[in-house]
Chains A and B, each alone.
Chain A
Amino acid sequence: MGRGQRALVAVAAIWLAWAGYAIFIVAPMERTMRELQRIFYIHAASGLVGLIAFFGSFLASVGYLASRQDRWDWLALALVEAGEVFCTVVLVTGPIWARPVWGIWWTWDARLTLTFVLWLLYAGYLMLRRLSEDAARRAMLAAVFNVFAFVDVPLVYFSIRWWRTQHPGPVIAGGPGSGLDPRMWHVFLTVWTGLLLLLLVFVLQRYRVAALEAALEEEELAPMTDRAVREQAS
């Protein structure tokens, strides 16, 4: 890890510690949900960060298909893995909040279902990579699958929106009557920035590991090719 990355990790850690303080101490108490509402800061911010990661991985996969450069593939992989982590956080914190507020853990509402389907699609992406052996082919398969999966998102969204919706409507940019107390806004933005920094840390680390893995794979293949060359020569 270079000095720049170490500094980034330090900044992210301090920022997140501050965000935790903001969630529990700075943020005002919500009138009806009381303490429970505080999970919203993590839940909604993670959701936004996850979506950004998945969208970024789609762009990286398009970049790979256009340029065939490995670094786009590493970036797409790093973003999917990190996005999957944030998506998992959303899926875990959601039911914890819903049980006392809605009285149920889970409902097949539009946004819950969409998040779940997204999680499944990108878990599929990671499995596809794991089960494909040849590195060049794997990068291509993963990129193609990523594009196929991403264009599915609007279709999934509209099909389940017509199907049913229970999730609270958009709080932040919804219609009249929606909106956050300015103090809550500040806390939300603090948490969101902290999680974006965390995403950056994850992605940089995973990208570095992906590059190392690729180098290792080449290293392992190299002696075999040497042997093949010698055999052919003799």
Chain B
Amino acid sequence: MNVLRRAWVICAKELRVEFRTHELTLTTGFFVLLVAGMFSFAFEPSSTEARTLVPGLLWLAFLFAASLMLQFSFLREQTDDTLSALRLAASDPFAILLGKAAANGALLFGIELVFLPVFIVFYNLPLSLLSAPLLGILLAATAGLSLVGSAFSALVARSRMRELLLPLLLLPLLSPVLIAGAEATAEMFDTGSSGGRWWGIVLAFDVTYLAAAWLLADFVVQE
């Protein structure tokens, strides 16, 4: 079996576990909904103000939600003591990491797809904002952040205060994604452009961390 096939098996297993319980998607989705609501309570933006604020809010909400959700990826293997079995079965740490990241990315992207319209409704934005470039850059950013987040989830799985530690480590690292994503979205809102050069940052982030994960997977996924 090559790496991709193994990764796919892991990914399918992760998704199966999630579809049986819906634990991660429900709680993370609820969190995004909360942020969308609480932000409105705090700032009460008019619909013109919302147009300038929502790009940032959207990305912030998704990034925070991701940093909360991703820690359970390896924590589950840790508490159930199943990581050794997983390593034996897949026999390639990079495949485990890739599979987990793919599953997490798919779940996160699903949550983003569900809650994008909620932001549009709450902040009275035109439906035309749901464009292909916006979904594309969300998908590209989600891929990168779920890869890094899954790797960090494995790193902190045995630390004390890991629930707090993961966001603290992950969010500063994601700052280029936040800047690029929010700026691209703002450009899309303002001029209807496709995000232009900000794509470069997001794709560079994906490629950099794919390479780093491939090189360091052996150290990251440890029993």
Contact = CB atoms under 8 A, between A and B. Distances in A.
Interface of A: 65, 113, 117, 120-121, 124, 127-128, 131-134, 137, 140-141, 143-145, 147-149, 151-152, 155-156, 158-160, 162-163
B96 to A, nearest CB: 15
Contact of A159 (B158, B201, B209, B212): B201
B170 to A, nearest CB: 9
Contact of B148 (A127, A134, A148): A148
Interface string B197-209: 1100100110011
A156 B176 contact: yes
Interface in B154-173: 155-156, 158-162, 165, 168-169, 172-173
Nearest to A134: B158
Contacts of A145: 152, 155, 169
Nearest to A132: B159
B175 interface: yes
5 contacts: A127-B165, A128-B155, A133-B158, A145-B152, A148-B148
A158 B200 CA distance: 10
Interface string B136-166: 0000000000001001100110111110010
Contacts of A134: 158
A147 B176 contact: no
Chain B CB within 10 A, most for which of A113, A137, A148, A158: A148
Interface in B63-90: none
Given A128-B159, A132-B159, A144-B216, A160 B165 contact: no
A137 B222 contact: yes
Top 7 A-B pairs, shortest CB-CB distance: A120-B172, A159-B176, A155-B176, A159-B179, A131-B159, A124-B169, A131-B160
Per DSSP, are chain A's interface residues mostly helix, strand or loop, or mixed?
A: helix
B14 interface: no
A120 B174 CA distance: 12
Chain B interface size, as a band, is 20 to 34
A160 B165 CA distance: 25
Contact of A147 (B165, B175, B183, B216): B216
Contact of B165 (A65, A131, A144): A131
B219 A143 contact: yes
Interface in B184-208: 197-198, 201, 204-205, 208
B32 interface: no
A13 B158 CA distance: 42
Contacts of B151: 144, 148
Contacts of B172: 117, 120-121, 124
A124 B148 CA distance: 15
Contacts of B179: 159-160, 163
B182 to A, nearest CB: 10
B180 interface: yes
Interface string B117-142: 00000000000000000000000000
A127 B167 CA distance: 12
A121 B174 CA distance: 10
Nearest to B182: A163
Contact of B158 (A121, A132, A151, A163): A132
Contacts of A120: 172
Contacts of A163: 179, 183
